Amino acid sequence: YAALRTSTGSGNLSSHHLSTWLDDPSLHQVWPRPESLRTNCVENPMARAWPGMNFLNPGEKIVHNILLNDSKASSRSDALAGGCLRANACRSIYWNPSEVNAALVTCGGLCPGLNSIIRGITNCLWFDYGITRISGITSGYNGLANPDENPSIELNPELVDEIHMKGGSILKAGRGGFDAAKICATLERLGINMLFVIGGDGTQYAGHMLFEAVREKKLPVSIVGVPKSIDNDVLFVDRTFGFDSAVTAAAEVIRNGWVEAYSCNKGVGVVKLMGRDAGFVAAHASLASNLVDLCLIPEVDVDMEDVFAHVDATLERKGHMVIVVAEGAAQQHVATGKKDASGHTVYGDIGIFMRDSLNQYLKPKGGRTFYIDPSYIIRSVPITPNDHIYCSRLANNAVHTAMRGYTGVCVGAIHNVVVIIPSKLIASGKKQLKINSSTWQTCVQVCQMPLALSGWLKD
């Protein structure tokens, strides 16, 4: 237990287990506790159904940084220095399945894979644990705060059987509506003791606040989050579900932009992709298509004179060009100075700006742009096969984590192993594409971008 000996940090989840969540964390220097002190004494029904099945050691952990002689050690966060517990099935569980009343809620905007997560959680609860009381909360947190106005759906295997073949969410994902006091009252009134929260960093922050609220009321509820983000900007995890599908759809749109560009003398295809604060979709779609000559991301400021120079050089060399721009890129050129009702910055339309600026520059020279903004098309597509497999893993592990008695946590992959991470950490910021990462460096090189547009020049 030496490696597990700490009362704080990502590896000690005593404050997130229903058997110890009301205790002083300093009382639990070792987590999980020695076997003789553990309170998970219900036998997992899968142990009887599949006698040869392998179950986790409850203390199995993943080390966050697996590199020796790390060239980027100084830039890495130590928030997960304590490692993370694995999030799979254990032989001994906390909850008696006959006592579980579960609910799922999808919050925020749409994302490929929401229906796959709903299907996976429902089927795992039903078939693996024999839990048949499963409610689908509609309209996000609104459905928990005001259930009379947003009736829930009774989920079962027959209802969810084919929903993964569709985009969107059968639960009508919704924004806003979070009210911890009202939601606690709803959970208590309906007898819900297991809640799966599917949404982005804002949703998971609200999930953490709800965890704090139910703990204050001593209301035993396992709250487990499944982080989502098309932009792949959730901290710590390898990738978010839906990202692979979004990149696949975006790469096809880039191909369309390329067809338009190469079919015209001095044609420039401009494709705007999602990515308010992170350039993962733009960079990965550019790499996936191998057709892009310039990729603009939020993490790198650019001067339009450098853009024009690269356009001239590329048209001279190839006769056509494709530019991919993330929606949050180059905001210094289109800043609005406004905030929305949630306090978020209202971004200017960099796609339109690039289209108009390049047309003004190119048309006197006989060139022109072809502008494509796929926008919501990318987030509403059905999920790709690999993404669906990932969703199934996340869904199953979310259920296993809840059945083990954890609460106020999220599940996500680190080094391709699904682990348990406190929701507060997931919601503590947004991940960005590091300009010294191999992904961005490869993107710059594959696109043959000049140094001036790479972000590597120091002021």
State yes or no: cis peptide before 32, omega within 30 of 0.
Answer: yes
pLDDT at site 77: 79
Range of weakest confidence among 15-24, 269-278, 402-411: 15-24
Contact assessment for residue 288 and residue 384, using Cβ atoms and an 8 Å cutoff: no
Task: Tell me how far apart the alpha carbons of residues 25 and 14 are, in angstroms, rounded to a whole number.
Answer: 6
Which residue pairs, CB below 8 angstroms and at least 24 apart, start in 217-221? Answer: 217/184, 217/188, 218/22, 219/184, 219/187, 219/188, 220/18, 220/193, 221/187, 221/192, 221/193, 221/194, 221/195, 221/407
Task: Tell me how far apart the alpha carbons of residues 332 and 329 are, in angstroms, rounded to a whole number.
Answer: 8
DSSP 338: E
pLDDT at site 320: 96
pLDDT at site 336: 87
* Residue 7 scores a pLDDT above 70: no
Contact assessment for residue 56 and residue 90, using Cβ atoms and an 8 Å cutoff: yes
pLDDT at site 1: 27
Each residue of 327-345: pLDDT tens digit?
A: 999 999 988 888 875 567 8
State yes or no: cis peptide before 151, omega within 30 of 0.
Answer: no
Q: Is 231 a catalytic residue?
A: yes
pLDDT at site 9: 64
- What's the one-letter identity of residue 250? A
**Average pLDDT of the chain, as a whole number:** 91
Pairing of strands 194-199, 222-227: parallel
Tell me the mean pLDDT in the region 138-144: 93
Task: Tell me how far apart the alpha carbons of residues 272 and 5 are, in angstroms, rounded to a whole number.
Answer: 49
Helices within 272-403 (DSSP H only): 280-289, 304-318, 350-362, 376-379, 385-403
* Residue 108 scores a pLDDT above 90: no
- What's the one-letter identity of residue 70? D
Q: Residue 414's pLDDT band (boundaries 50, 70, 90)?
A: very high
Residue 39 burial (CB count, 10 A):
13
* Residue 71 scores a pLDDT above 70: yes
Maximum mean pLDDT: which of 77-86, 105-114, 279-288: 279-288
Tell me the mean pLDDT in the region 344-367: 93
Task: Tell me how far apart the alpha carbons of residues 274 and 109 are, in angstroms, rounded to a whole number.
Answer: 13
Tokens of 379: 């987030």
Catalytic residue among 128, 201, 231, 277: 231
pLDDT at site 26: 82
Tell me the mean pLDDT in the region 439-454: 96
Tell me the mean pLDDT in the region 140-154: 93
Which residue pairs, CB below 8 angstroms and at least 24 apart, start in 182-189? Answer: 182/144, 182/145, 182/146, 183/141, 183/144, 183/145, 183/210, 183/213, 184/210, 184/213, 184/214, 184/217, 184/219, 186/144, 186/145, 186/147, 187/144, 187/214, 187/219, 187/221, 188/217, 188/219
Task: Tell me how far apart the alpha carbons of residues 185 and 146 are, in angstroms, rounded to a whole number.
Answer: 10
- What's the one-letter identity of residue 29? Q
Range of weakest confidence among 63-67, 226-230, 406-410: 63-67
- What's the one-letter identity of residue 243? F
pLDDT at site 341: 58
Q: Residue 458's pLDDT band (boundaries 50, 70, 90)?
A: low
* Residue 398 scores a pLDDT above 70: yes
Task: Tell me how far apart the alpha carbons of residues 251 and 271 are, in angstroms, rounded to a whole number.
Answer: 10
* Residue 128 scores a pLDDT above 90: yes
Q: Residue 189's pLDDT band (boundaries 50, 70, 90)?
A: very high
Q: Residue 30's pLDDT band (boundaries 50, 70, 90)?
A: confident
pLDDT at site 4: 36
Tokens of 157: 């295997």
pLDDT at site 343: 65
* Residue 266 scores a pLDDT above 70: yes
- What's the one-letter identity of residue 351? G
- Residue 94 β-bridge partners: none
* Residue 315 scores a pLDDT above 60: yes
Tell me the mean pLDDT in the region 79-108: 93
Query: Could you give the 3-state DSSP secondary structure of residue 274?
Result: coil
Task: Tell me how far apart the alpha carbons of residues 261 and 149 are, in angstroms, rounded to a whole number.
Answer: 50
Tell me the mean pLDDT in the region 181-195: 96
pLDDT at site 357: 96
Residue 87 Cα to chain centre, angstroms? 17
